[in-house]
Amino acid sequence: MLARGSTIGILGGGQLGRMMAMSSAQLGYRTIGFAPEGDNVSGPLNDDFVTAAWDDTDALAAFAARCDVVTWEFENVPVDTARAIPHDKIFPDPHALETAQDRLNEKRFVESLGGRPAAYAKVDSSHDLIAAVDRLGAPGILKTRRDGYDGKGQWRIGSSRDAEGLRLPDAPCIYEGFVEFDAEFSVILVRSREGEIRFWDSTRNVHEGGILAASHYPAGNQITAQTDAARTLARKVADALKYVGVLTLEFFATHEGPIFNEMAPRVHNSGHWTIEGAATSQFENHIRAVAGLPLGDTRTIAPSIEMRNIIGSDIDDAYSFLSGSAYHLHDYGKAEASEGRKMGHVTRLQHNTRG
């Protein structure tokens, strides 16, 4: 267990790191961030921030020496960067990053544990793509195997003609067959150093343009009926990775049961509602886990919750939400409100049926 006043290092400088730093301070810990030059909005919330390239081994070594434990706040931290931190200091194990960063390996890993992803095929050439569309059908989605989030690095394939005319990106790809689903949901868990696992309630997630727009609780009967099966897989994934911290798996709710979409080895946008809506937030429990503290209660504390992302220039009007007493605004402090960029979120808790 980390002593009071210990230092937690956070790889990454985005809003997730910002909220981790807040929870760390609440628990009496210092934080140091590490990320390349950029709009590192977590910087002002950390006690210190190191701006250096991911492959700057000297800077990483100096950073690690100042930290008692290290974690990360987004899944595109290079695996080599995470592995440069002494193994007994970094949580989760970098193998979780390595697994999640390649969509093909991720799906094969989940299948090995009994999970069901969407039908998929490896694509390294135009011939591969045409063959994949012929075998799996269209519509479907072509994705780069690495990088890409919030709809980036993805192309919808509506027909074999689309496949024939598409210029492939200069990167390994994967083609996923279309899944007929009724809803999307996520399973968010926290696993301690000792292997204890706790789950938050699942929300119904609504995406617009490939970006999470809103999460709703209760999630609805169909999702609730499939949550146990999804949790069983999530537990297997967490145990197989010997995971420590918060882990998220996203699913499609279908008439055949839950279909695995992807996993995120980190705190997750669809869990932001837990800050106000759960007894212990995903951010506090992540810090508790990596610090070796007892896990907090994950129960939901309101009968109805909505979390909505604030995208791009919508942040200019976000403070209008505060005229409603049930709303909680989180402004991430980002300077540039570009199209499609998550600038903040707002959570609404309804504590009674009258509103």
Q: Which CATH architecture has domain 183-350?
A: 2-Layer Sandwich (3.30)
Q: How far apart, in whole angstroms, are the C-alpha atoms of residue 16 and residue 74?
A: 8
CB 102 within 8 A of CB 80: no
CB 247 within 8 A of CB 195: no
At residue 210, the pLDDT reads 85
Spatial neighbors of 25 by CB under 8 A, at least 6 apart, are: 31, 45
At residue 150, the pLDDT reads 55
Indicate whether 353 pLDDT > 60.
no
What's the pTM?
A: 0.95
Per-residue pLDDT averaged across 282-303, rounded?
Answer: 98
Strand 7-11 to 69-72 pairing: parallel
How many Cβ atoms from other residues are within 10 Å of residue 110's Cβ?
23
At residue 231, the pLDDT reads 98
Q: Please report, for the chain, the start and end positions of each structural domain, with discontinuous segments joined by +.
A: 7-90, 119-177, 183-350
183-350 matches 7-90 in CATH topology: no
How many Cβ atoms from other residues are within 10 Å of residue 256's Cβ?
12
At residue 351, the pLDDT reads 77
For 119-177, CATH gives 3.30.1490.20
Residue 148: C-alpha distances to residues 16, 144, 266, 318 (Å): 17, 7, 16, 27
pLDDT, tens only, 223-271: 999 999 999 999 999 999 999 999 999 999 999 999 999 999 999 999 9
% of residues, the chain, pLDDT over 70: 97
Amino acid identity, position 205: N
Could you write out the DSSP letters of every residue in 273-330?
THHHHBSS-HHHHHHHHHHTPPPPP--B-SSEEEEEEEEGGGGGGGGGGGGSTTEEEE
Lowest-confidence segment of 43-47, 56-60, 133-137, 280-284 by average pLDDT: 133-137
CB 169 within 8 A of CB 146: no
Per-residue pLDDT averaged across 311-323, rounded?
Answer: 95
Reduced to 3 states (helix: H, G, I; strand: E, B; else coil), residue 214 is: strand
**Residues in a beta bridge with 258:** 253
Mean of pLDDT over the chain: 95
At residue 355, the pLDDT reads 40
For 7-90, CATH gives 3.40.50.20
Phi/psi for 354 (5° steps) reads -85, -5
Helix 282-291 × helix 15-26 angle, to 10°: 70
